[in-house]
Amino acid sequence: MIGPDDGIYYLGKGEIEYKAPAELIWDNLLDFSHLGYVHATSFGATDAWGKTRPIITSLETGIRADRWVLDQPPLFSEGRVDQWFTYDFLVPGILILKTFNFPLGTAEKYGLTEPPVDEAWLQNSYSVHAITPVTDRTARYFFTFGPHVEGSAPELGDKFLEVAHFAFAEDQAIIEAQARTMSEFPGVRPMPTSADRGITLFHGIVNKALKAEQSAVHEPSL
């Protein structure tokens, strides 16, 4: 995992206190289709996010989500780009995300599959998020976010952090509203669809880990 002091990215960091369960924040980060609805102002995301599906891969301690989103406006630059997003979301609630902007046509060039590691990018950013439950109804959210130092000035890192705070405040408003609504209807749970495969897989991994931990605690000592 890359940190703010590694010198590869201009990484700023932040922290948010949530009046919502950690699980709802997980679900938000496990399904980026919300970007076109929630982050049109901050990240400039379009409705293409809701029209494409990520490639979800099961990992031993989480899931990997890869996706192309075509013809998008890049942060702090002109024109349009094809964006490749790849992230791991790992137990107990850690997101490690890399975003690459490529010239238009790159996604089709590689058949909407993962681009080679040596493919020249226009912009490359990195982000890590960690969600820590405080109580069953509150959580603390830590994050870093910033652009690659290659081709970027340190001031661009400040701009990335500023837009991150704006975007994550948008998330917070939605998630805390969800929490309030769910508290008014105890026992009523959301019904997942095929679009929620990443969420379903991750919760299954968490539940399996919790059961294993509880079994180990209750095993009689020899």
Give the pLDDT score at 121: 96
Token digits for 218?
């209750």
Give the pLDDT score at 219: 64
Query: 213 by DSSP, 3-state: which?
Result: helix
Query: 168 by DSSP, 3-state: which?
Result: helix
Task: Please give the order of strands across the beta sheet that includes 62-72.
Answer: 12-18, 138-147, 123-135, 94-102, 81-90, 62-72, 55-59
Find out whether 14 and 143 touch, Cβ atoms under 8 Å.
yes
What is the mean pLDDT, run by run of 10 residues, along the chain of 222 residues?
Answer: 83 96 96 93 91 92 96 92 97 96 97 95 96 96 96 93 96 97 88 88 92 78 58
The overall pTM is greater than 0.85:
yes
**Domains in the chain, please, with CATH?**
15-182+197-203 (3.90.380.10)
Give the pLDDT score at 131: 97
Give the pLDDT score at 189: 81
Partners of 124 in beta bridges: 100
Partners of 98 in beta bridges: 86, 126
Give the pLDDT score at 222: 56
Q: Which of 18, 37, 23, 43 is nearest to 172 (CA)?
A: 18
HSE, side-chain direction, 13 A CA sphere, residue 68: 18
Give the pLDDT score at 102: 97
